[in-house]
Amino acid sequence: MSDESDEYIESGTPELEVTFDGGEKVSLGNELSPSFTSSEPTLNWDASPGQRYTVIMVDPDAPSRKRPSLRDYLHWMVVDVHGSDVEHGKELVSYMGPAPPSGTGLHRYYFLVYKQTKSVRFKKKGRANFDTHEFLKENGLGRPAAGNYFQARN
């Protein structure tokens, strides 16, 4: 992964492989069209056998990077993923593809995978104003086991 850290993906975090239906791949900030990312992607990472994981996708730039009053916008959450078998994990928030408002510029969409050490507690209703960092802290999820992100605009 990148040598640079940001607030979601620390330097040295292994790269999460994210592939959408049409073969489009996420590659550390590349720009993808929302129309190519509307369906739930396939994720792959170097998972430890027998380990449970939590997968989240967030947009920290909602409704715009200049005025992120809805940050973080939660696009997807799957917990109790055994290995990298996301399909059979417990989906707490269904996948919602990017839909950045027209004229708001590029939005970043982060896919993050965390090792679980206990059952995840999640009480939030709705997708807007999800506090990613507080959620991680409350659930003892620590630093990402894998991560990646892309950018999109309308």
**Could you report the per-residue pLDDT of 53-89, keeping only the tens digit for each?**
999 999 999 999 999 999 999 999 999 999 999 999 9
For the entire predicted model, the pTM comes to: 0.94
Ordered by where they begin, the domains of the chain are: 17-152 (3.90.280.10)
How many other CB atoms are found less than 10 A from the CB of residue 151? 18
Alpha helices in the chain, H assignment, sequence order: 132-138
Q: Using one digit for the tens of pLDDT, what is the confidence trace for 24-59? A: 999 999 999 999 999 999 999 999 989 999 999 999
Distances (CA, A) of 40 to 97, 116, 122: 7, 22, 21
Dist CA 23 CA 109 (whole Å): 18
Dist CA 129 CA 148 (whole Å): 21
Dist CA 45 CA 134 (whole Å): 24
Q: Using one digit for the tens of pLDDT, what is the confidence trace for 99-148? A: 999 999 999 999 999 999 999 999 888 999 999 999 999 999 999 999 99
